[in-house]
Amino acid sequence: MDLSAGVAAALAAAGEAFGPAPAAAPRPRWGALYAELDADADAAYATGIELIYEGYLLHYRESRALALASEDLESRLLAGDCFYARGLRGIAARGDAEAVGLLARLMASCSYLRSVGAPFAADDALWAYTTAGLVALHRGAEPASVGVLFDDVEAGFHAPPPGVSAAARDATDIPAAARDAADIPAAVRAAADRLDLDDPAPLRRELDAVAGR
């Protein structure tokens, strides 16, 4: 079974309790990038990434797997949790604690970015980096070196914009993430260059697409 078929089957199985699968099979995104970056990619692992991504889409964007009304927030949140849990469980079952930790940091960062209304380009850049980071971890990269981007991103969530003191920010309710969210794609590109990838071209393509939005 190729990746597209495997992802479509997994998404349909995970969403069965919430409604029928779409007539057109969803196209893999980050699982496909993972497979491009790793010649020895495990299709089941890539499918796990796609399940987690679908959970994110249900929570914050437009689902590929279910036709739920945008105002049906309860169903969207419940379905998203289900997809997210299935994907994470599949990756955790392989004993890959570092991958689980990196994905958890991704989801926490995306949750914060949505809470402050940041551009979706920031989320997409972090998804691209995390996918490449998973490949780097499997190649033996130190988890701390892969996760340093999230150290910087998370620190930026609490920093005032340039020229604005913390006191002034708090007094005027200036979003602390305004500057940092805009800077995330550039920070991701710099961090991505430090990942040990055989062929970084697919990652650069995705980051170029993010920059063009």
Please state the domain extents for the chain.
1-95, 97-213
Cβ neighbour number for residue 58 with a 10 Å cutoff: 26
89-100 pLDDT, tens digit per residue, is 999 998 999 999
Helices 97-115, 43-60: crossing angle, 10 deg rounding: 20
Residue 7 has pLDDT above 70, yes or no: yes
Q: What length does the chain have? A: 213
pTM, rounded to two decimals: 0.89
User: Helices 97-115 and 73-92, interaxial angle, to 10°?
Assistant: 160
What pLDDT, in 10s, does the model give residues 179-201? Answer: 567 689 999 999 999 998 999 99
| pLDDT at 170 > cutoff 70 | no
Q: What are phi and psi of 199, to 5 degrees?
A: -140, 100
How does pLDDT run across 114-126, given as a tens digit for each residue? 998 999 999 999 9
pLDDT digits (tens, 9 = 90+) for 48-70: 999 999 999 999 999 999 988 78
Phi/psi for 195 (5° steps) reads -80, 145
